[in-house]
Amino acid sequence: MMTSRIPVHLAGFVLLASVGLAGCLSSDDSNGNGGETGTLSLAITDAPSDYADAVNLLIRAVELKPADRRSVTYEIEEPEHINLLDYQGADAHWLFQDVELPAGRYEWIRLHFNGDGVSTEEASIEINENPGPYPSGIHPLRVPSSEQTGLKLVRGFTVPAGGEASFTIDLDLRKAIHMTGAGQFMMRPTFRLIDNVTVAHIQGDVARSLTEHPQCFNEDTGGLPWGSAVYLYHGHEAEPLPISADLSAEDGGPITTAGVPLDYAGDPIPFTIGFVGPGDYTVAFTCQAGRDSAVDEEGNLVDPSVDGEPEFHPATVNVTVSEDAGVTPEHVEFREEI
């Protein structure tokens, strides 16, 4: 269960008393469940970025849309900058916990912050030394339409009458962030909403020798490592495909990715693919994750550092997550030389 593994960073929330909101939450208002309520907890986590040292968001409010009524908004009393890179693997940041809501079906979630690509106040990316051509420093991060409507997650969920619902938003930064041809950093919505009741964390390790092969370094930048990562795919025996193939997870693209930390002192190097629901999966490894690229809205590669797709380790591992969040095999290993 996730609740024992996620550090609690609960900011104060206050119900936004906007027009119609009180009616949305009143016990005599018809919600299809006789006025019954349930509770909702919501956290956020992310997959890594190969170039960024920090990705900061200042989330000011969370808005929820019931299927049969106007939306409900919760304002954060004391908004704090969240560095998404602090919450990887099995770690996540609680946006709120155990908030009482009308029971029933909800259509979407919206995170309110300003990512206009001009100011670094509410959305920014910090880049230091990296194997690509990206400039160092703190840069504004543009999230299209966020300054008007927020980051909208169109994924339905249910708050059970008299029960509890708990979800985690997985924002995959490796898929989400890219630099446009105009030199602007942009984050497109690339996320999953995971039910924490059946969630599992896939854990494993990689032999250090697989991260130190000559193919793992970019000679054009003085030999900086491209970065090592594991990729997750639907089904057993899936063919490893890069993010730059621009395929949905249902069409064979990666579901999510997880970093293999090269600053780890031991051998082998551990990794965690967090928040995985029940199903069959394939795990693949590459030490050239920095060669993979996001694409723009037209599907064109926009990362000028890419001179070919990343090469994956020839061996992949089949993993099954059961309904009770059990994982088979319990530990994933990559040992063979490239």
In tens, the pLDDT along 253-288 reads 999 999 999 999 999 999 999 999 999 999 999 999
| Block residue for tokens 């051509």 | 133
Q: Which of 143, 175, 195 is where one domain is finished?
A: 195
Q: Do residues 205 and 186 share a domain?
A: no
Between 257 and 129, where is the model more confident? Answer: 257
229 shares a domain with 189: no
What is the reported pLDDT for 46? 85
Residue 23 pLDDT > 50 = no
CATH code assigned at 223: 2.60.40
Both tokens of residue 294?
Answer: 């996001």
Which of 26-30, 179-183, 187-191, 263-267 tops mean pLDDT? 263-267
Give the mean model confidence (pLDDT) for residues 145-157: 73
Q: Are 243 and 284 in contact (CB under 8 A)?
A: no
Is 302's pLDDT higher than 70? no
308 vs 307, more confident: 308
- pLDDT of 26 > 50? The answer is no
Whether the predicted pLDDT of 310 surpasses 50:
yes
Q: What H or E segment, with its residue span, contains residue 146?
A: helix 146-149
Number of domains within the chain? 2
Q: pLDDT category, 308, cuts 50, 70, 90?
A: low
> 18-27, 50-59, 206-215, 242-251: which has the minimum mean pLDDT?
18-27
CB atoms within 10 A of CB 332: 21
Query: Residues 171, 216: one domain?
Result: no
**For residue 133, what pLDDT is reported?**
67
| Domain C-terminal end among 195, 226, 258 | 195
The per-residue pLDDT of the chain, averaged, comes to: 81
- pLDDT band at residue 117, thresholds of 50, 70 and 90? confident
Structure tokens at 156: 């339905």
Cβ atoms of 234 and 250 closer than 8 Å: yes
* End-of-domain residue from the set 195, 213, 246: 195
Tell whether 78 and 154 lie within a shared domain: yes
Q: In which band, very low, low, confident or very high, does the pLDDT at 338 lie, cut at 50, 70 and 90?
A: low
Residue 187 shares a structural domain with residue 220: no
pLDDT of residue 79: 83
Q: How far apart are CA 73 and CA 180, in angstroms?
A: 33
pLDDT, mean of residues 223-252: 91
Q: What is the DSSP letter of 252?
A: T
Average pLDDT score over residue span 212-234: 90
pLDDT of residue 307: 55
Mean pLDDT of 109-129: 86
Report which of residues 281 and 120 the model is more confident about. Answer: 281
pLDDT per residue as tens digits for the range 62-95: 999 999 889 988 888 788 889 998 998 889 999 8
330 has a pLDDT exceeding 90: yes
User: How confident is the model at residue 319, as a pLDDT?
Assistant: 98
**pLDDT > 80? residue 293:** no
- The verdict on 142 and 273 lying in the same domain is no
My answer on whether 213 and 324 are in the same domain is: yes
Distance CA 272, CA 2 (A): 13
pLDDT band with cut points at 50, 70 and 90 for residue 131: low
Considering the domain architecture, whether residues 103 and 6 belong to the same structural domain is answered as yes
- Please list the alpha-helical segments (H only) found in 3-89: 21-25
Q: Are 212 and 185 in a shared domain?
A: no
What does the alpha-carbon distance between residue 327 and residue 338 come to, in Å, rounded to a whole number?
26
Tell me what the mean pLDDT of segment 170-182 comes to.
78
Residue with tokens 């968001």: 57
pLDDT exceeds 90 at position 180:
no
Q: 3-state class of 248 per DSSP?
A: coil
Domain containing 169 equals 2-195
